[in-house]
Amino acid sequence: MRKFIVTAVMAATLMPVAASAQSTAEVRRDRQDLRGEQRDLRDARRTGDRRDIRDQREDVRDAREELREDVRDRNRAYGRDDWRGWRDRNPGFYARGSWNAPFRYNAFRTGVRISSGYYGPRYIIADPWRYHLRRPAYGQQWIRHYNDVILVDTRRGIVIDVVRGFYR
């Protein structure tokens, strides 16, 4: 049983790396396909008729569009509200549970300075990608505060963003 749990945890932590590697491989494959289509278009211009050239241009256009889409997917960064649809489809990730902090709930606003006790290591969301939260910048952390999620500048203790009612 212990081996199964360790394996499951390792798989869960490596999942984003595998997805990233897969999309990088897709981009590389799409670039190779585009070069091949461009080569075929050059050959068609040298030896083919108008229909061959037209067909090859369309193939080059399709290959470019597929490359653009895969590059866009690979470079995707989650926006402010990208988690909403994901939460509706995966409610188990956002279950509130019996989580409570040893201090009283405060409705924080952006720009407010908070004590380091509110963003200690036990409150940090270590895997914001799992919840489709945007990537925090250097020196920032997503923090759980009861049902809310707060983006805090940990160097100065200033609240940058607040998402109320994040957990259900």
- Predicted confidence pLDDT, tens digits, the chain (168 residues): 565 555 555 554 444 444 444 567 788 888 899 999 999 999 999 988 888 889 999 999 999 988 888 777 666 666 666 677 777 777 776 766 666 677 888 889 999 999 888 888 888 888 787 788 888 889 999 998 888 899 999 999 999 999 888 887
Question: Which contacts qualify for 84-88: CB closer than 8 Å, 24 or more apart?
Answer: 86/131, 86/132, 87/131, 87/132, 87/166, 87/168
CA 71 from centroid of its chain's CA atoms: 14
Q: Identify the residue whose tokens are 């259900």.
A: 168
What pLDDT does residue 76 have? 63
Contact between 135 and 87 (Cβ < 8 Å): no
CA distance 128 to 17: 14
Condensed to tens digits (0 to 9), the pLDDT of residues 93-141 reads 676 666 667 788 888 999 999 988 888 888 888 878 778 888 888 999 9
Assessment of whether the complete model's pTM goes beyond 0.85: no
What are the strands, taking DSSP E only, across the chain?
140-145, 148-153, 158-163
